[in-house]
Amino acid sequence: MLRFAFRNLMSRPVRSILALLGLTVAIAGMVGLFSIATGIDDTVGSTFGRIPGLAAMQPGAPIPLFSRMPMSWSDEIARLPGVRTARPEVWARAQLVEGKPTFSPPRFLFGTDIERTVNLKQAVYRDDIISGRFLSVDDVGTMNCVVSRTIAQAFHKQVGDRLRIDGFDLTIVGIYHCGSLLLDVAIVLDAAGVRRISKFDDGLISSVYVEPDDTIPKSELMEEIRKHFRGRRADDWRNNTAKAFPEMAALQMLNSAAKLLTTEPKPSSASTTDSSPLPQSSAGGASEPQIEEAIEVRSAQDWGDKIAELSSDLDVFLYLMTGIGVIIALLSILNTMLMSVAERLIEFGVLKANGWSAWDVMRLITWESALLGLGGGILGCGVGWVAVQIVNAIFPTKLHLVASSGLLLFSLIFSTLLGMLGGVYPAIWALKMSPMEAIRRG
């Protein structure tokens, strides 16, 4: 039966090839589109899975680059129970690298407390050195730096070379490679160097990396840190943030407006039925303002969840785009099989007259459409996989697509089932005809 179905397809090569190409394009498109989502998930996993600690930063700031907080807070966090090390961090954007603007991909200056970084049990960048060395206590106050392999290759630099950042010459003492698009964009140096280059306020930091000592659960430690700073007035450093990043002022206004809109009204004394204490009132009778968080603490899981939300929105778009291609491919197979069945009505009538059952005819047509689906799936998966490798090779620092074996296997099975589905209606139409009716209509 399989050989008979293959010969029938080859008897009309042009029509079969056109249907095959239509399905190939649809499956290749599906592999390419969903490799974007798979690549995002892989990047997130390879990035945040390597960061076991917590990040304490300004509430509402999307990333540490836009965060500002008092430098003294890092010492307070270090003294809290459950904290092994609290490392202050200074983040800034490198505007010019070797005289060239850095926009895509961006380059960031990561100012670290070298002494505390050395004491960390696990540290990104420090543990990923592939050439040279990481920063040591001897590099405190110097302009020595560590860069990613991607940055070194982009600017043709090696260990010992100088790298000019925003008018300052840095000496490369080490090269690291994390294998993540989100991590391999940093130029690591002493925090004092970043302050000097970016004109960063001496009394502020961007964030604090907290390494737990595992004596208490992370969730409890996060709440303890928030509780320790809750209610503090931080107007001064927030104003400094607004001056450094005007767009953050608008973000803070939106956050404040959202809190006002989402805050539930307090129950009045007339409607209060429990014995919970009512909020204290001022002399004017108005309730005191709600105590706001002065610091936000995020874990690697929190970062991953935020990106997963964005990825889920992207998946909707990918499903829509893939659906369009699948519908076109299904119609192509349906048209091919309908035309094939219409041209072979006499053949089916003769086969039935010679003892073929309606089930045999249906199996023949289904095999033909399944072969089209399988062939389109094989070609589509192959084309999609090759395209993903080419894109990754051309844009290694901008895109990370992953055509996983699971995605390819799913695409192949889906293509075969799609081909079989395209042959169902023509098969049903053919098996309903009697031998004489099929011969007469043919």
Which residue type is seen at 143?
M
Segment 28-51 shows an average pLDDT of: 78
**Residue 160 and residue 147: Cα distance in Å, rounded?**
12
pLDDT number for residue 395: 83
**In the chain, % of residues over pLDDT 70:** 75
Whether the full predicted model's pTM is greater than 0.85, yes or no, is no
pLDDT number for residue 381: 93
3-state secondary structure the chain: CHHHHHHHHHCCHHHHHHHHHHHHHHHHHHHHHHHHHHHHHHHHHHHHCCCCCEEEECCCCCCHHHCCEECHHHHHHHCCCCEEEEEEEEEEECCEECCEECCCCCCEEEEECHHHHHHCCCCCCHHHEEEECCCCHHHCCCCEEEEEHHHHHHCCCCCCCEEEECCEEEEEEEEECCCCCCCCCEEEEEHHHHHHHHCCCCCEECEEEEEECCCCCHHHHHHHHHHHHCCCCCHHHHHHHHHHCHHHHHHHHHHHHHHHHHCCCCCCCCCCCCCCCCCCECCCCCECCCCCCCCEEEEHHHHHHHHHHHHHHHHHHHHHHHHHHHHHHHHHHHHHHHHHHHHCHHHHHHHHHCCCCHHHHHHHHHHHHHHHHHHHHHHHHHHHHHHHHHHHHHCCCCCCCCCCHHHHHHHHHHHHHHHHHHHHHHHHHHHCCCHHHHHHHC
| Confidence category of residue 259, pLDDT binned at 50, 70, 90 | very low
Q: Which pLDDT tens digit goes with each residue over 296-312?
A: 998 877 776 766 666 66
Name, of 246-255, 260-269, 289-298, the range with top average pLDDT: 289-298
Q: Which pLDDT tens digit goes with each residue over 169-219?
A: 999 999 999 888 888 999 999 999 999 999 999 899 999 999 999 899 988
| Confidence category of residue 364, pLDDT binned at 50, 70, 90 | confident
Segment 144-168 shows an average pLDDT of: 95
